Chain A
Amino acid sequence: MFLIDCPYCKESRDQNEFSPAGEAFIARPQNPEDLSDAEWADYVFYRSNHKGDQWEQWVHTNGCRKYFLVKRSTISHEIIKVAAFGEVTSDSEL
């Protein structure tokens, strides 16, 4: 049961207020019709399932209902950082 800092509410809240919403920075392709089946499948189905620190999307479902970004260790479950959308735009940023 994580304790998550909502970057909008500015409060630490219990995990049961939130829902996970998958790996972050999976941008929807601009022109899906130009993609091969394999490229499209990569966007729709394939995720890195990274062991270590990764950026994820979470939503404060039973709170402000905002989606935001969480950098979390998938090993220790430590939450390293949270950010509003737009504050961080790629994996490499901390």
Chain B
Amino acid sequence: MRIENHSSHQIDYSQSLTFIFNNKTYKGYKGDTLASALVANDVLFFARSFKYGRKRGLMAAGVEEPNALISLEIGGRYTPNLKATEVMLYDGLSAVSSSNPNALDFRALIKPFHRFMPAGFYYKTFIKQKVWAKVENSLRALSGFSKAPTEKDVDVYDHVFHHAEVVVIGGGVAGISAALEVLNNSKTERVILVDEREHLGGELFNEFSTDDAASTWHKDSIEKLFSYMNEDNSRLTLFLRSAAYAWYDHNYIEVLETNATGESLVTEQGQAARKTIHKIRAKEVILATGAHERPMLFETNDLANIMLSQSVRRFLNEFGVISGKDIVLYGNNDSIYSTAIDLNNINIKCTVVDVRSSEIQSEIVTNVKGLGVKVFQGYAILKANGTHLVRSIELSQVALQGKEWNVSGGSQQLKCDLLATSGGFNPVVHLDCHCGAKTFYDEVSQSFLPQKERNNRQVCGSVAGVGAWQDAVGDAKNKAQLTLKSLGIVKKINQDKLSTNYLNFFNVSQFFTPVEILNRPKVFLDMQNDVTTLDVALSIREGYRSIEHIKRYTAMGFGTDQGKTGNINGIAVAAKFLGISMSEVGTTTFRPAYTGVDFGAMAGREIGDFFDPQRYTTINDCHVSSGAEFEVVGQWYRPWYYPINGEDIHQAVNRECLAARTSLGMMDASTLGKIDVQGSDAREFLSRVYTNAWMKLAPGSCRYGLMCNEKGMIIDDGVSTCINDNHFIMTTTTGGAASVYSALEMWLQTEWSNLDVHLNSVTDQYATIAVVGPNARNLMKVLCQDVDFDRQNFKFMQWRPGTVCGVDARIMRISFSGELAYEINIEANYGYYIWNQVALAGKKWNITPYGTESMHVLRAEKGYIIVGQDTDGSMTPMDVNMGWILAKDKPFSYIGRRSFSISALNSEERFQLVGLLTKDEQVVLPEGSHIIDNKSRSIGYVTSSYYSPILGRSIALAQLKGGLSKMSETVLVKIVQEKQGLKEIPCEVSSSVFYDINGEKVDGND
């Protein structure tokens, strides 16, 4: 309900908002979270739990909430698994529970069987029995999380980079105080202050009603901060609604800012980003991340309306809402008494159950007793009663023995409709630990605190175990002074002495729940994953000792809340059962992200056209106007095939291949990597990185080379052209250009810095047009008059400078099809012009442009390999039957050479490249199909497979174990055929050269 006439600090009562939750319409106010608005409307059930389908209500008011998972909006703005406590209300909001608490639920129906479903249940029952595949879909549908989105996200998301001298994480008392201290004592340093909530102030709002000094301090501090913000060229940047979710190495921090909750962001001005990831590089970091309250443990502690004490207080003070009228407060520290005072102020009945000794007579305890509030000191709650909602509690006196306690005496019942507990506070050390910083166990607060010393980082306020807000102000100033010193701004630091007179929640006694209670059923540790104390006990019985293993066995802390409320209790339970200390158990590893981050935000603007660079050749417009289909090869958009008159890919490729074989084809080869190699040692360099000889290659000639790594494996191939003794142009595969260039640079810079060689990538500087086919020479004679194309004077593997249609060109006579072919290289800007000129002049011979698919067929017919398709990084030149390319007598032991003599690389049993001819000539084997032996085991696989129109049959290249010694043998290839299922196709092992075996075509017909 909403408390009437309450001066809550976040709500603007003048702005009423309408929203829909689980198909019902409600009203709330500006400033509400979805959670607070629902509490105001007496909605108490938010979702069902993950495993047992138990109805759950709110436990907390912020990021640590484990239960209240919802899906926001529908369609393109659907967001799954948000916490209702973090969703700010807006007019027209529409949300549903991730798992509807009001619907009939199968998991709840099988309630009597829940005790047979402990940790490991699904694994033992289904996976171990090998029936998982049959039940997986139906079981997953039962889980308590939202369904995945099905539509494209209509929103945009941004990434923004920042640099700052000081980043303060957390905008509570300590964070505000630290930021001001830095700003007040420096002149140019940039400060970024980050907080996940809507307003600066953290938990301080809770003190306003009882402590005027708190509200005065808050008002003054915010005014001061805003005066810094309003300066010209302000050096203060403030991010609210912004969760710092990761702290990576070298003070690199990522922050997710929620600019708007779920409302439409499209306006006439354009579309604003829904969320922004701020990527911040900081010199110094001040952590003021605060602490999360943890619950007390007792039987059925997961009923709805069992909440955390400070969360009840926050709902009350910030939002003016409360979900009960008869309240019991239960805890082991003074936090519950401050909640009691707040409740008493608004005349709500409450009773305090304090597990600590009645000898504790601190000021606040006395005050609460003085208000007439019933206080049970030295009592514990054993069980909460109620079907789904807490109705009463069972409490009993306890016997204290130092820090330990035990139940003593009979129990009594106490009615209540809301139970708020506090088992102490867990400092939010998560971020600090992301880069490996350690925590230590503090006996006073019974919690893990961040390690004391760390370079370029300070911790202050509750995260450092400083409980009272007045102390947090001083602590933050002191720590900020240390930051200023580390920056070299101040030499001598002022350190205020902190008082110890203030109310401090970080004084916790009787933290460890006795085994007598832990051994009861349904004492939940992790609400989201339904992990109970008995699950922890079971994992220990089954032999797990490390908390990391216990976590993984029970799934404790695996939820979207990452165990913020449950994990430390879980560690305490493990410690109790194992009989060791908290320090000995230790924490699990804290990893990014601290809280949920949207995939959309991670992707930012790098989607669609901006996902990856798109590279087009200068001839691209010609391909587009010819109606080409494209394929992406290493970022390049290459014509795949050119369909005409409604052809499919097979018809188009058959036509293109036959044109190149019988008359004339042309292809855009501009994407091949080109590296300009210059210097007096260029020749020596080539002979070191290629396996074959280069010392005698004359200017005017070209040579094919195979490049290996030191392991002896093929990494690239291509033709290099000798321009003159000091100048070569190397070509690489399209996809390998960047990595080859980098590898070559590495050799030159790290090993061979004495060689006079300079490399330059010139891929983009030249356009390359291949003209291919028996009529290629006839065409070249038309295109270029200043070169002698006579077959004796311009031989295969030679190049000539010439003028093609008035443009300076290098013409190479090289061939990747086995046909007579020339490659015309011109300055890239002439690509479009020359392509059109070639097409025009070639009309006479019906010149046919062909794409990568036909190129693959033509090269496969000749058995030419494609590195990366027919080889996979584990193939030597011998494996692809290219032993001929290994020079025997080069003085320098070229890259990879030594490896060729290793016995393993000479085994008969290696995969070797062979041809495969299906017995049924019309069957085209799917690439990737396995060749099998008589026991159906794989002995190889198909790497390339096509229908060859010139041969009128299918051809394939394959890696086959010991293949080179299996010529003419019959092997079986297992394939999946549509409708017919698995089939074994008999094939004959053959040479990998299928067409023009003697290489007679390369000189042409004339």
Could you tell me which A residues sit within 8 Å of B by CB distance? 1-3, 14, 19, 21, 27-28, 31-33, 35, 37, 40-41, 43-45, 57, 59, 61, 65-67, 75-77, 79, 85-86
Q: Which of A14, A28, A32, A35 has the most CB of B within 10 A?
A: A32
Chain B at the A interface: SS class: mixed
Known: A3-B281, A32-B893, A32-B897. A59 touches B746 (CB 8 A): yes
B711, A67: Cβ atoms under 8 Å? Answer: no
Closest residue of chain A to B751 (Cβ to Cβ) is: A28
Write 11 A-B pairs (CB below 8 A) sorted by A numbering.
Answer: A1-B249, A3-B252, A14-B281, A32-B897, A33-B893, A35-B898, A37-B902, A44-B899, A67-B745, A67-B749, A76-B435
Closest residue of chain B to A43 (Cβ to Cβ) is: B710
Please give the distance in Å from A52's CB to the nearest CB on chain B: 14
Known: A31-B893, A37-B902, A44-B711. A77 touches B745 (CB 8 A): no
Known: A37-B903, A67-B746, A85-B753. A77 touches B249 (CB 8 A): yes
B252, A67: Cβ atoms under 8 Å? Answer: no
Choose from A3, A33, A75 the contact partner of B250 (Cβ within 8 Å): A3
B746, A33: Cβ atoms under 8 Å? Answer: no
Report Cα–Cα, A28/B710, bound state, in Å.
10
A77, B746: Cβ atoms under 8 Å? Answer: no
7 extra A-B contacts, CB within 8 A, seeds A1-B248, A32-B893, A40-B898:
A3-B251, A31-B893, A32-B897, A33-B898, A66-B749, A67-B746, A85-B749
Specify which chain A residues have a CB less than 8 angstroms from the CB of B751 in the assembled complex.
27-28
Choose from A1, A31, A57 the contact partner of B252 (Cβ within 8 Å): A1
Report Cα–Cα, A3/B893, bound state, in Å.
38
Q: Does B233 reach chain A (CB closer than 8 Å)?
A: no
Please give the distance in Å from B46's CB to the nearest CB on chain A: 37
Specify which chain B residues have a CB less than 8 angstroms from the CB of A65 in the assembled complex.
745
Closest residue of chain A to B709 (Cβ to Cβ) is: A44
Could you tell me which B residues sit within 8 Å of A by CB distance? 248-252, 281, 435-436, 710-711, 742, 745-746, 749-751, 753, 893, 897-899, 902-903
Q: Which of B248, B249, B903 has the most CB of A within 10 A?
A: B249
Closest residue of chain A to B897 (Cβ to Cβ) is: A32
Closest 7 CB pairs of A and B: A32-B898, A1-B252, A3-B250, A67-B749, A77-B249, A32-B893, A1-B248
Report Cα–Cα, A44/B903, bound state, in Å.
15
B249, A2: Cβ atoms under 8 Å? Answer: yes
Please give the distance in Å from A4's CB to the nearest CB on chain B: 9
Closest residue of chain A to B748 (Cβ to Cβ) is: A67
Specify which chain A residues have a CB less than 8 angstroms from the CB of B750 in the assembled complex.
21, 57, 67, 85
Closest residue of chain B to A19 (Cβ to Cβ) is: B742
Specify which chain A residues have a CB less than 8 angstroms from the CB of B746 in the assembled complex.
21, 59, 67
Choose from A44, A57, A79, A85 the contact partner of B710 (Cβ within 8 Å): A44
Report Cα–Cα, A75/B281, bound state, in Å.
21
Closest residue of chain B to A35 (Cβ to Cβ) is: B898
Report Cα–Cα, A37/B902, bound state, in Å.
6
Please give the distance in Å from B748's CB to the nearest CB on chain A: 9
Specify which chain B residues have a CB less than 8 angstroms from the CB of A86 in the assembled complex.
753
B250, A77: Cβ atoms under 8 Å? Answer: yes
Specify which chain B residues have a CB less than 8 angstroms from the CB of A57 in the assembled complex.
750
Report Cα–Cα, A28/B898, bound state, in Å.
12
Report Cα–Cα, A60/B430, bound state, in Å.
32
Report Cα–Cα, A66/B199, bound state, in Å.
48
Specify which chain B residues have a CB less than 8 angstroms from the CB of A59 in the assembled complex.
742, 745-746
Closest residue of chain A to B903 (Cβ to Cβ) is: A37
Please give the distance in Å from A45's CB to the nearest CB on chain B: 8
Known: A32-B893, A67-B745. A1 touches B250 (CB 8 A): yes
A40, B250: Cβ atoms under 8 Å? Answer: no
Specify which chain A residues have a CB less than 8 angstroms from the CB of B902 in the assembled complex.
37, 40-41
Specify which chain A residues have a CB less than 8 angstroms from the CB of B251 in the assembled complex.
3
Report Cα–Cα, A32/B436, bound state, in Å.
42
Report Cα–Cα, A65/B742, bound state, in Å.
8
Please give the distance in Å from A65's CB to the nearest CB on chain B: 6
Closest residue of chain A to B281 (Cβ to Cβ) is: A3
Report Cα–Cα, A25/B249, bound state, in Å.
25
Specify which chain B residues have a CB less than 8 angstroms from the CB of A41 in the assembled complex.
902
Closest residue of chain A to B254 (Cβ to Cβ) is: A1
Specify which chain A residues have a CB less than 8 angstroms from the CB of B742 in the assembled complex.
19, 59, 61
Please give the distance in Å from A54's CB to the nearest CB on chain B: 16
Please give the distance in Å from A72's CB to the nearest CB on chain B: 10
Specify which chain B residues have a CB less than 8 angstroms from the CB of A76 in the assembled complex.
435-436
Please give the distance in Å from B88's CB to the nearest CB on chain A: 30
Report Cα–Cα, A67/B746, bound state, in Å.
7
Closest residue of chain A to B738 (Cβ to Cβ) is: A61
Specify which chain A residues have a CB less than 8 angstroms from the CB of B710 in the assembled complex.
28, 43-44
Closest residue of chain B to A86 (Cβ to Cβ) is: B753
Q: Which of A1, A33, A66, A76 has the most CB of B within 10 A?
A: A1
Report Cα–Cα, A24/B198, bound state, in Å.
50
A77, B435: Cβ atoms under 8 Å? Answer: yes
Specify which chain B residues have a CB less than 8 angstroms from the CB of A61 in the assembled complex.
742
Specify which chain A residues have a CB less than 8 angstroms from the CB of B436 in the assembled complex.
75-76
Specify which chain B residues have a CB less than 8 angstroms from the CB of A43 in the assembled complex.
710
Report Cα–Cα, A28/B435, bound state, in Å.
35
Report Cα–Cα, A44/B895, bound state, in Å.
11
Report Cα–Cα, A31/B751, bound state, in Å.
14
Report Cα–Cα, A76/B451, bound state, in Å.
15
Closest residue of chain A to B895 (Cβ to Cβ) is: A28
Report Cα–Cα, A57/B749, bound state, in Å.
11
Please give the distance in Å from B435's CB to the nearest CB on chain A: 7
Please give the distance in Å from B977's CB to the nearest CB on chain A: 43
Please give the distance in Å from B245's CB to the nearest CB on chain A: 14
Q: Which of B746, B750, B897 has the most CB of A within 10 A?
A: B750
Closest residue of chain A to B249 (Cβ to Cβ) is: A77
B899, A40: Cβ atoms under 8 Å? Answer: yes
Report Cα–Cα, A3/B251, bound state, in Å.
9
Please give the distance in Å from A9's CB to the nearest CB on chain B: 15
Report Cα–Cα, A31/B251, bound state, in Å.
45
Report Cα–Cα, A93/B574, bound state, in Å.
48
Please give the distance in Å from A29's CB to the nearest CB on chain B: 8
Specify which chain B residues have a CB less than 8 angstroms from the CB of A35 in the assembled complex.
898
Q: Which of A44, A61, A75 has the most CB of B within 10 A?
A: A44
Please give the distance in Å from A66's CB to the nearest CB on chain B: 7
Please give the distance in Å from A41's CB to the nearest CB on chain B: 8
Q: Which of B252, B281, B898 has the most CB of A within 10 A?
A: B898
Please give the distance in Å from A78's CB to the nearest CB on chain B: 8
Please give the distance in Å from A17's CB to the nearest CB on chain B: 13
Specify which chain B residues have a CB less than 8 angstroms from the CB of A37 in the assembled complex.
902-903
Specify which chain B residues have a CB less than 8 angstroms from the CB of A31 in the assembled complex.
893
Report Cα–Cα, A41/B966, bound state, in Å.
31
Closest residue of chain B to A41 (Cβ to Cβ) is: B902
Report Cα–Cα, A21/B742, bound state, in Å.
10
Specify which chain B residues have a CB less than 8 angstroms from the CB of A75 in the assembled complex.
436
Please give the distance in Å from B150's CB to the nearest CB on chain A: 33
Please give the distance in Å from A71's CB to the nearest CB on chain B: 15
Specify which chain A residues have a CB less than 8 angstroms from the CB of B281 in the assembled complex.
3, 14
Closest residue of chain B to A24 (Cβ to Cβ) is: B750
Specify which chain A residues have a CB less than 8 angstroms from the CB of B897 in the assembled complex.
32-33
Report Cα–Cα, A41/B749, bound state, in Å.
23
Closest residue of chain A to B248 (Cβ to Cβ) is: A1
Specify which chain A residues have a CB less than 8 angstroms from the CB of B745 in the assembled complex.
59, 65, 67
Specify which chain A residues have a CB less than 8 angstroms from the CB of B898 in the assembled complex.
32-33, 35, 40
